[in-house]
Structure 1
Amino acid sequence: MRIGLLGTGPWARTAHAPALAAHPEVEFTGVWGRRPEAAGELAALHGTRAYEDVDALLADVDAVAVALPPSVQAELAARAARAGRHLLLDKPVATTAAGARALAGAVREAEVASVVFFTTRFQPATEAWIAEQSARGGWFTARAEWLGAVFTGDSPYAASPWRREKGALWDVGPHALSVLLPVLGDVTRVRAAGRGPGDTVHGVLEHAGGASSTVTLSLTAPVAAAGVGVEFRGESGVTSLPGATGTVVEAFGRAVDTLVEAAGAPPAGRGVACDAAFGLRVTEILAELEEVLGARG
């Protein structure tokens, strides 16, 4: 599979480009970025080509990996899908339900494969744990805490304009939902939402299976307080999300594996859990949380 990369920021340099360059089943065809000089630097680092025109890159590939701000990703990914290109997307797929709906519609109509890189879903230990809890069932309640120190520590993502605008709800909220939804079922209602210090957000969710969950999200936690915790309580007791294993490059490589497999399955994309449709549902829930937060000032 020939894959091109859209984006040249810290996440593209840390995860996307190294994983694509190292993957034995893909050809890292080239890089396009909104800053041509950055695309040239990243392409040279991995022995591939820099493209100044995104349509020229789309003409030369079978698929694209997207490492762009979500508002930019949604439009360009839909454009790639309409060109018949498979998609390896980042979360959130968009920051509006309308944008995510348009993207998911383009994927469906073009019948291309899509994979959204929710990191926790592509790490072996956490992926296996989520599958185990989903199969076990009988859950009563859950809590998910995704507390980052992006704006209080020394993070390369602190200068990200979209993270500063949209905050933890849209940056780490997708991670929390990517764990809760496969175990507890779809969110049927956002019961409550409120704000905490900095960009911290709290939410109370009702799920289709009858369980409830709470989420606490932040990018402004003190460095010493940062971390991730997910806990389910139910008929079989209490269980907690294990620590991540492996590197982010290895996790992204597993996402590439999933895309390659999905692209070869008829119809393309069948059976992919973290696809554009799932990305749409996550976006819709985040938008509802945002609406509840806005209604309460």
Structure 2
Amino acid sequence: MRADPPSQITSQSLATKFITPSGHCGKLTFDKPYYRITFSAMASQCECLIESTSDGDDSAEITCLAMAAIDEVKRIESKYNRFDVNSQLSIINAQAGKWQQIDEETIALMDFAAQCYQLSQGRFDVTAGSLMALWKFELDGTSIPNASDIGNAINRVGFDRIQICDGRLLLPQEMMLDFGGLAKEYAADRAALVLLAAQAEQTSTAPWQSKACLINLGGDLVVTGTPTQPWQVGIEDPSALNRTADKITISSGAIATSGHSRRFIEDKGERFGHIIDPTTGMPVLHAPLSVTVCGPQCISAGMLATMAMLQGKDAEQFLSEQGLVYKVIR
């Protein structure tokens, strides 16, 4: 099973982009040989770790690198956040029923979403925004939506009803896009590419060079360069969020996790996770608590992790057939 990630997308010129930091981050710390800078994005606690060849006297260069990556994450968050009425995604949703121009980056993401839809037989569907808006996993005390509302929302879902032609999109009236299953993983991939470009710009004018970097967006992460020692990535225990249940060793590539350890509701003693099957309008039955997948890109690893969750009790069998490194917690 394969979906080609939109890695061909290029962003704005990087020559000046990383020079002016935009803020939104915590303190830069150095614990040899790694710098760490933390920040919040996409409703997640995030971090950028950069391995240094110096003894800590290159913090200015490291800050520029980290801010290049953080700025890119913030750009994508601002563009595709359906909770922000000013985002491009919200504007697209507001103009449903009309032909509208979309840019190259959005076209590429929609093309990847189309592949996900086809490979999942309609269960990985970015047009499920109406369903996702119906389930309020962010609120305490939320109950299950009633059957009538779920049925009405299902009628407004179906990627095969979208039309894209000559850089224009026709989203059927009352349908809503939700890139929640793609945007964070895509942002991790983009941040890594931007960081590499910023690093290349620095090393063209100075002898300094970092060895390896890790971008971590709430458990979806990408590794660049060749670390002195492989990264040890802990997997959160869904039953005890301050504890590590397992770990994965990684020297290159990406890791993505899908699960409902933090976003779920309980009704009459039953737990319902936030992974919704758009064909039923309900959370997937017998799904694992979390699925972690390694892959060459974060967006493809995330797609496979979510598709595994959608398999419910057959998640492990699905993943074993893909031939990738994975961890499942039930």
With the length of structure 2 as denominator, give the TM-score of the two structures. Answer: 0.26
Name which structure has the greater RCO, CA cutoff 8 Å, separation 6+.
Answer: 1
What TM-score, normalized by structure 1, do the two folds share?
0.28
- Asked which structure has the greater CA Rg, the reply is 2
